[in-house]
Structures are given as C-alpha cells and as structure tokens.
C-alpha cells in the first residue's frame, strides 16, 4: 500500500490553469468514484478549492497513474498542466497533507477555512466509499495535527487584513462592540468593508454622511443607515463611538479642537477614528487627546504587516510540529504494514506445531498431565525461538528502512510459505484488522 498525491496550487499554477482543473462541490463524489476506478487505485480523495486541486490516492503499486486520470477526467492535454503539477509519494504525501490541513500551505498562512474544506472532502469521500481504512487513518491524523498546530501555536490568532485589524482594535478599546455606533463619512470600498466587519461583530446603529447628499443616500440604503447632512457632520460625529472616514477632502475635516468638543460632550468616553482617506481626513494631532484613538491607513497597514510577521514566526513552530507528526505517523503505518505477515507467520508455525503434537500423541498413547505440559512447553519454546529473529527483523526494518520493507516481507513470506489460496488470505485479513483494533 502506497500513498500518492498529485496536485496544483496557487504557488505552482496561475488561476487560468486552476480554474480549468477545479471541480464544483456537486461533482466531487463522481470524480472520486472515477478516481477509484483507475487501475491500481484502492482508495481516493479529491480536494478542490479556489487555491488548489489535489488528487490523493492509496495505491496498490507504483503502476497506478494519476496523471492519466487528470487527463481523462478533464479532457485536457498533459502538456497544459504537467509543468504546474507537483507529485508526492509516501511520507511526502503525509507531510504535504498535514501542512495543507494545518493551513501552512495556504495563500494566507493560518487561515481557518482550508481545514473545513478538507473535512468536507473527507466526509463526501467516506459516504461514497472512496475513502477506506488507509486514507481514513491519514486524514483523521491530519485533522488532529491541524488542531494541535492551532492550539500550540498562535498561527491563526491575529488579523491580517485592514478591516479585521480595525475590528480587533475597536475591540481592544470598547471590549464588546454590542450597541456601539458607527459613523461612516464618505464612501469607499475599504471603509465600507470595515463598517461591515464592525457590524458583523455586533456594532449597533450606523450613520452615513457624504458631501453629495444623493451618494450618502445610496450608501445609507446599502447599510440601512441614517443619513447625516455633511453640514451637521461635527454636530453628530461626537455621538458615534467609531468614525470611519474616507472622503476626498484636501484638508483634514476633523481637527484637534473638534476632538476636544466631542470628548467634553461625551464625558470623556473613548472614540476611535479609522481614517482610510489619503490625504487624511483626521488631523494626526487628534491622537494626542486622552480617550481618542486615531489610526490612519499606514497605521493599520503596519499592524497588518507585524501580524503577518507574527504568523510567519508561528508558522516555523508549526512546521516543527508537522515534521514530528510525520515521523510518528509514517513509523506507525510502516509497522502496520508488517503486522499481517507477523500474524500469518505465527499462525503458520502454530499449525505446524499442533499437527506435530497430534502425530506424536497417537504414538505415545495416554499421557500424564505433567507430560502434556512438558510437550506443550517444549514445542512452544522451539516455535518462539524460531520466530524471534524473523519477527524482530520485520519490525526493525519497518521502523528504520522503509525501502527494504517490501523486500523483507516478500522474503519472509516465501521462506515460510505464507502465501496460501485466496480464501485463507481473506480470513487472515479479517483477523489482522481485529488485532489492529
């Protein structure tokens, strides 16, 4: 049993290629079914998000060809995607999958969506039977690793976009945003996004204002907000807890003296100015007032940058966790690989032993209990001594030298004549799974 993975992601392929290989969610089960029909493929999983398409399979031998699958499924010439493709085998697959699930391979490192997407693919793969024991072990382990990364590092804890940083800062000032009022001065994509984020976090009433009244009304419709006339701006701004400005005014509209008035009227209750306009709408001196916090676009950007750096530092810790988990997991599956052979070896010798005892018993006639015990002990002792060397060799090879494992298994099976007719092997397989459980 081998793991094989073929894929493209945002690092290796431009969107023009990714979009051609993307599979909509509704067609995923069918794609997985087709994947499992490929010769040599035992189990398969297809993951398709906007940043990656990955085909994962547990294969019988190296002969299984996932490229042909891609080629056939998408009806696309190999040269069109071959250069963007990456291919992983064995422990590389384990590492890659652990990294993907932990969001270390994402465009925005630490973003939480990818784990959910992998889980969805896993669930649909399981429901149609494309994911069985081998992929199940790998995938459930990858979820555990992702969880470990999330709890042991702070990879996903900081905001890395302007709008989410604005929300984070507002929460640092106001605690809960429940019932806080937002004043949106001027229209703009980024300021509206910030307002939406704030409202999603519970900010209550929202006012809008714009130099041209009609545009303010349009804006108000989008937010179901109240319109404030631009002339009443300074009258009303003091009532808002959070003011987002993005007008095209050539000079600052809010100056320090306005801030003083606001504070007096609102009994020094804090205010947060988010100034996205260039040139700035809020005079920087405003920040000197106790209780008023002014962040301009550069301030927000620098917070984002420092958070990105934080994430990269945390990502390094996460990589270490992943590396340790890869070693643990591959060791586990390697030892698992030799378990069936060990069991059939034990069974084989046990059958021989029983047969020989039966033979000798016919000749010896009635035996005393002591004699019975002596024969049992003697025969068991010999069998165990004979078994010791091959079993420990199998185990140690499985742990340390992955490449030789198949050869050694093959050798042991042939030497002890373990490969019997198919029904026997099937029974044995059942026992193996029981033992593993």
- Taking the least distance from each CB to other proteins, the nearer of 45 and 169 is 169
Contact between 310 and other proteins per CB under 8 A: yes
By CB under 8 A, the residues from 216 to 275 that bind other proteins are: 266-270
Contact between 319 and other proteins per CB under 8 A: no
The Cα-based distances of 393 to 132, 255, 302, 336, 409 in angstroms read 29, 80, 58, 14, 10
- Taking the least distance from each CB to other proteins, the nearer of 64 and 170 is 170
- Taking the least distance from each CB to other proteins, the nearer of 214 and 290 is 290
The Cα-based distances of 437 to 330, 332, 344 in angstroms read 18, 14, 17
| Distance of closest approach, residue 324 Cβ to other proteins, in angstroms | 21
Nearest Cα to 135, choosing from 39, 41, 9, 65?
41
Q: Cβ(169)–Cβ(143) under 8 Å?
A: no
- Taking the least distance from each CB to other proteins, the nearer of 127 and 312 is 312
| Distance of closest approach, residue 291 Cβ to other proteins, in angstroms | 6
Q: Cβ(216)–Cβ(236) under 8 Å?
A: no
Site string for other proteins, 76-115 (x = CB under 8 A): ----------------------------------------
Nearest Cα to 195, choosing from 224, 174, 215, 217?
224
Contact between 422 and other proteins per CB under 8 A: no
| Distance of closest approach, residue 13 Cβ to other proteins, in angstroms | 35
CB atoms within 10 A of CB 427: 12
* Among 69, 81, 262, 293, interactor with other proteins by CB under 8 A: 293
- Check if 36 is active-site: no
- Taking the least distance from each CB to other proteins, the nearer of 63 and 151 is 151
- DSSP state for residue 77 in the 8-state scheme: -
Regarding beta strands 41-48 and 226-227, do their DSSP bridges make them parallel or antiparallel, or are they unpaired?
A: unpaired
Site string for other proteins, 365-404 (x = CB under 8 A): ----------------------------------------
Regarding beta strands 2-9 and 86-89, do their DSSP bridges make them parallel or antiparallel, or are they unpaired?
A: antiparallel
Q: Cβ(97)–Cβ(89) under 8 Å?
A: no
> Cis peptide leading into 279, omega within 30 of 0?
yes
Contact between 295 and other proteins per CB under 8 A: yes
Tell me which stretch binds other proteins (CB under 8 A): 32-40, 302-310, 353-361, 393-401: 302-310
- DSSP state for residue 296 in the 8-state scheme: E
SS3 273: strand
- Taking the least distance from each CB to other proteins, the nearer of 200 and 367 is 200
Site string for other proteins, 150-179 (x = CB under 8 A): -------------------x-xxxxxx---
- Marked catalytic residue, from 1, 15, 50, 425: 50
* Among 306, 312, 351, 406, interactor with other proteins by CB under 8 A: 306
| Cα 119 to Cα 142: distance, rounded to the nearest angstrom | 10
Nearest Cα to 243, choosing from 179, 166, 161, 313?
166
* Among 212, 302, 429, 433, interactor with other proteins by CB under 8 A: 302
* Among 57, 185, 303, 408, interactor with other proteins by CB under 8 A: 303
Q: Please tell me the count of residues contacting other proteins according to CB under 8 A.
A: 23
* Among 287, 335, 346, 348, interactor with other proteins by CB under 8 A: 287
DSSP codes, 115-182: HHHHHHHHHHHHHTT-S-HHHHHHHHHHHHHHHHHHHHS-TTSS--SHHHHHHHHHHHHHSS-TT--E
* Catalytic machinery residues: 50
Which chain residues interact with other proteins by CB under 8 A? 169, 171-176, 266-270, 287, 290-291, 293, 295, 299, 302-303, 306-307, 310
């Amino acid at each position: 049993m081998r793991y094989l993975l073929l894929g493209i992601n945002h690092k290796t392929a431009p969107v023009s290629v990714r979009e051609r290989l993307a599979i909509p969610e509704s067609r995923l089960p069918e794609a997985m079914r087709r994947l499992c029909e490929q010769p040599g493929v035992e189990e398969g999983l297809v993951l398709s998000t906007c940043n990656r398409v990955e085909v994962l399979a547990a294969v019988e031998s190296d002969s299984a060809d996932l490229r042909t699958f891609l080629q056939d499924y998408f009806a696309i010439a190999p040269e069109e995607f071959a250069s963007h493709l990456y291919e992983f085998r064995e422990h590389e697959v384990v590492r890659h999958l652990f990294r993907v699930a932990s969001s270390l391979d994402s465009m925005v490192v630490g973003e939480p969506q990818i784990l959910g997407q992998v889980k969805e693919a896993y669930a649909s793969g399981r429901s149609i039977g494309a994911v069985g024991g081998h992929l199940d072990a790998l995938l459930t382990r990858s979820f555990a690793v992702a969880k470990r990364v999330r709890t042991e590092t702070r990879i996903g804890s900081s905001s890395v976009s302007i709008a989410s940083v604005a929300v984070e800062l507002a929460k640092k000032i106001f605690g809960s945003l429940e019932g806080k009022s937002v004043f949106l001065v001027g229209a703009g994509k980024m300021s509206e996004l910030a307002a939406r984020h704030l409202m999603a976090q519970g900010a209550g009433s929202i006012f809008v204002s714009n130099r041209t009244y009609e545009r303010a009304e349009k804006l108000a419709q989008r937010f179901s907000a109240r319109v404030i006339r631009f002339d009443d701006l300074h009258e009303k701004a003091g009532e808002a807890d959070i003011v987002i400005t993005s007008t095209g005014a050539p000079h600052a509209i809010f100056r320090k003296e306005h801030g003083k008035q606001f504070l007096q009227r609102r009994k020094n209750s804090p205010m947060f100015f988010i100034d996205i306009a260039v040139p700035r709408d809020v005079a920087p001196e405003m920040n000197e007032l106790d209780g008023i916090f002014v962040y301009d676009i550069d301030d927000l950007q620098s917070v984002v940058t420092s958070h990105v750096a934080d994430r990269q530092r945390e990502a390094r810790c996460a990589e270490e966790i992943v590396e340790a988990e890869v070693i643990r997991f591959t060791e586990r599956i390697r030892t698992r690989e030799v378990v069936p052979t060990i069991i059939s070896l034990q069974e084989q010798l046990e059958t021989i032993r029983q047969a020989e005892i039966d033979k000798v018993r016919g000749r010896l006639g009635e035996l005393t209990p002591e004699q019975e015990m002596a024969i049992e002990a003697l025969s068991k002792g010999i069998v165990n001594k004979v078994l010791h060397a091959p079993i420990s060799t199998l185990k140690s090879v499985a742990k340390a030298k992955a490449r030789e494992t198949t050869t050694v298994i093959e050798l042991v099976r042939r030497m002890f004549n373990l490969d019997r007719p198919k029904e026997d092997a099937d029974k044995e397989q059942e026992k193996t799974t029981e033992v593993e459980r």
